[in-house]
Amino acid sequence: MQSSFVLFFMLIGILFGVWNRWKEFYPTLLFWIIANLLYDSLFHDFQLWEFIPVWIDHILLPTHTIISAAIALLIYPFVIVVFLGRFPEKVSLKILWILLWALIFQGIETIAYLNNSITHHHGWSLICSFIFNILTFSLLAVHKWKYWVAWLVALPVVILIFIIFDVPLPK
């Protein structure tokens, strides 16, 4: 299932990505990948969500860690050139653009959830994922504008997740 999502986002990126500006988006892409790696590290023993291989993923993407790395390294680059490359100027359209991408990711996660290729744990839910998606795409937009503000906002978000979901500190 996750393999099909990788292919879906690669196709979207190829068709709609603004590739001639990829260097401009590269720092924000690294921010997103680092955040993903931090989640995988900090929440390794207390995962709020877990990717489960189904269908051909047992061969191509056999573990949560490999699926997560594939998402960060194969999906994020193709998404970032569309999301930032076509980011609107008007504030109202910016909000709608962020909501659109949060809904796209939410739709993909809902399909994965219904297909048992993602599971939620410790109180995490599809609603939590939607809020998280809105925060993620908002932070990506902020990072493109002022990277240090995105890092300053991301830190309290991580602390809040630790508090809300009673996450034990990693050993």
Per-residue pLDDT tens over the stretch 157-170: 999 999 999 999 87
Identity of the residue numbered 23:
K
State how far the Cα of 53 lies from the Cα of 51, in Å rounded to an integer: 7
Sign, Cα dihedral of 147, 129, 121, 113: negative
Give the span between the Cα atoms of 5 and 113, in whole angstroms: 13
What's the token pair of residue 149? 């503000």
Q: Which two tokens stand for residue 72?
A: 């960060």
pLDDT confidence of residue 1: 57
Q: Is 143 helix (H, G, I), strand (E, B) or coil?
A: helix
pLDDT digits (tens, 9 = 90+) for 22-70: 999 999 999 999 999 999 998 988 999 998 888 877 777 788 888 898 8
Closest by CA position to 31, among listed 158, 148, 164: 148
Q: pTM here? A: 0.92
